Amino acid sequence: ALPRDLSGRRVVVSAGGTREALDPVRYLGNRSSGRQGYAIARVAAQRGAAVTLVAGHTADLADPAAVDVVRAGSAREMRDAMRAAAKGSDAVVMNAAVADFRPVALVDHKIKKGSGDPEPLALTVNPDILVELVQAREPGQIVAGFAAETGDATGDALHHGRAKLARKGCDLLIVNAVGDGKAFEVADNSGWLLGADGSETELGSGSKALLASYLWDAVAARL
């Protein structure tokens, strides 16, 4: 059985990918399935936490038991949902794959092919939700993020992860190795858990539930 070490705690987890509308039928999106974030939410509930899961677009996943699920389609919707849910919570985990950019304007009709070359797609930068959550962090609140990096432990992945942890200002960063069929749309995950305190733990390869357990161990140790 899992420890009930998160009972009495409120936690918020984001999962899945955002979609940024271009016109009524098209969007910019990504291939996040949401499985890792759902596992993080499920394990937190099993360990006794009151959990809000802010879910973007995901594969066809069942809502985890005893978890409050809030839907967020776009990055800006997710930002609003996360900011609201983070208030008064003990830990916030940004696992969602947020689109870095969105179309400048939502066109109100289906964009036509036209006859010549396509118009360039004008994009603007989305808010960095993780950075905003760090800026709004309440005393004692733990904020965790994810980084999908190509490369291996001895090479770029850890190096980039360490730099990202510092840049984002979060307490914990899970670095997932991606590429070669790793992490996206598959059952298993592997990577490293980096702490703002300089700690560095290799997580090895295991189920997304196992990775979720490692994350909650690290959060519980800091609460």
The verdict on whether residue 164 carries a ligand-binding annotation is yes
Instruction: Indicate if 126 belongs to the active site.
Output: no
Tell the burial category of 187 from Cβ atoms under 10 Å away from its Cβ (0-12, 13-18, 19+): exposed
The site string for ligand C5P over 150-189 (x = CB under 6 A, - otherwise) reads: ----------------------------------------
Nearer to ligand C5P, 103 or 145 (CB): 145
Torsion sign over Cα 36, 65, 18, 165: negative
CB-based contact 81:2 (threshold 8 Å): no
* Residue 134 binds ligand C5P, judged by CB under 6 A: no
Residues in region 8-37 near ligand C5P by CB under 6 A: none
d(CA 106, CA 26): 10
CA dihedral 40, 174, 15, 99 (to 10 degrees): 180
CA 90/CA 163 separation, integer angstroms: 25
**Contact, 45 vs 65, CB < 8 A?**
yes
User: In the range 73-92, which residues lie near ligand C5P by CB under 6 A?
Assistant: 75
Q: Indicate the residue among 74 and 213 with the shorter CB distance to ligand C5P.
A: 74
* Residues 86-125, mask of contacts with ligand C5P (x by CB under 6 A): --------x-x-x-x-------------------------
Asked if residue 146 belongs to a known ligand binding site, the reply is yes
DSSP state of 197: T
Catalytic residues: 30
- What residues form the annotated binding site? 100, 110, 127-130, 146, 164, 168
Binding positions for ligand C5P, rule: CB under 6 A: 75, 94, 96, 98, 100, 126, 128-130, 145-147
